[in-house]
Amino acid sequence: MNGYRELCLDLPPEVDTLCNSVRKFAQNTLRPIARELDAMADPADVIAADSPLRRAFREAYRLGFHVASLPTKLGGLGLRGLGFHVFIEELSCGAVDLALSILTTSFPFSAAAGSGSRELYEEFVRPYVEDRDAKYIGCWGITEPQHGSDTLMAGTPEFHNPRVSGQVVARDNGDCWILNGQKSAWVTNGTIATHMALYLTIDPARGMSGGGIAFVPLNLPGVSRGKPLDKLGQRALNQGEVFFDEVRLPKSFMVTGNDRYEPMLVRTLSSANSIMATAFTGHARAAYEAALQYSMERVQGGKRICDHQLIQKKLFEMFSKVETCRALSRAVLIYNRGSGEPSIQHAIAAKTFCTQTAFEVASDAVQVFGGYGLSREYPVEKLLRDARAAMIEDGTNEVLSLTGARHILNEAGAPKSS
């Protein structure tokens, strides 16, 4: 397939060039590697030193894709708005699990760069930007054994409940912070990362709002890892536990404290949900394109199945859903990346809609393939498994909807319930 018809009539030439470059890499490199990794029974083999995963990372880094969103003044590609949307969609259309893994590598380094610390920039950010061998891999540590989507409910009364606070706690020790606790098995890149953007608790009396964000090198004494998670879908996306036992962290490595934590979390959630919406727009497109191509090749009842009206109706509905996802996710990502005050409710609406739609489109693709859609010989059963995870990761769609509703009510001036 040659991709979609671009409806932006004034698409900048550089974005069109980027689109073609990323599409080629994603479909020729990431897609076959993702299928190879998905077939591995043991998740430990996925992250082995000689695994194809390492080659996928190295090739992405050599193209500069790991620093896609970092500003050009820091050595990144400086992608924003439309260009960033095109980049994420094309990468994810190739393989959404590897796309999410590659996109996550920059999280701690972006946080460090945003702190304004010259020390963090010179020691960590610059080497990451200049890395072309995937020696520096970032991860995002937020989910805990007793805390999942509730960690993301910024702006709600529940977020300030003093009876509910995080499990990874930073204790002020004068010249440093002492970290103790555990992040759960859902840390993306958790068992392969070199550095983490760690979302932790500083003041438990303030509930989930009493947090902070730290830049944590994962080679510090007291940091340990669990085994890579064995999952239904997105098996090429490494995830695993990270433990902190009396870890001493320099004071300057705490990039966001109590005073700025909740507004920073709102910005993080707005960005992450916009990215998820875009990624699963690409994933839905991959499922639609696979079904369309197969329908033009498969013969049943004496003619191609695309010539049967029931299949035509299903293909058109899939097409309409993908186009709707693109319109919504693109509008939200452009707004939230360019606005001084991103809209969290729009980001959540895009994430929940696009991930749900990706699952529906992948399910329809399996139906178009018929019995072969259940076979591992064809790609759509993996696409269905990968899509199912999206309605849970980065916040379950149900809990995110409650957070989005609270922000809608806040903006409308409705009094907060107790």
DSSP characters for 19-51?
Answer: HHHHHHHIIIIIHHHHHHHHT-S-HHHHTSTTS
pLDDT in tens, 304-328: 999 999 999 999 999 999 999 999 9
**Structural domains of the chain, count:** 3
For the chain, the average pLDDT equals 95
**pLDDT level of residue 257 (50, 70, 90 thresholds):** confident
**pLDDT level of residue 414 (50, 70, 90 thresholds):** confident
Task: Tell me: do 272 and 190 sit in the same domain.
Answer: no
Task: Tell me: do 221 and 123 sit in the same domain.
Answer: no
Tell me the DSSP string of 235-284.
TTS-B--EEEEEEEEEGGGEEE-HHHHHHHHHHHHHHHHHHHHHHHHHHH
pLDDT of 243 higher than 90:
yes
In this predicted structure, what is the pLDDT of residue 313? 98
Beta-strand relationship, 254-256 and 223-225: unpaired
Query: What residue numbers bound the domain in which 270 lies?
Result: 262-412
Task: Tell me: do 368 and 316 sit in the same domain.
Answer: yes
Percent of the chain with pLDDT over 90: 91
pTM of the model: 0.96
In this predicted structure, what is the pLDDT of residue 3? 75
Does some domain include residue 323?
yes
pLDDT in tens, 25-62: 999 999 999 999 999 999 999 999 999 999 999 999 99
Task: Tell me: do 151 and 283 sit in the same domain.
Answer: no
Does some domain include residue 5?
no
What residue has token string 């979390």?
A: 265
In this predicted structure, what is the pLDDT of residue 339? 85
Task: Tell me: do 122 and 162 sit in the same domain.
Answer: no
pLDDT of 418 higher than 90:
no
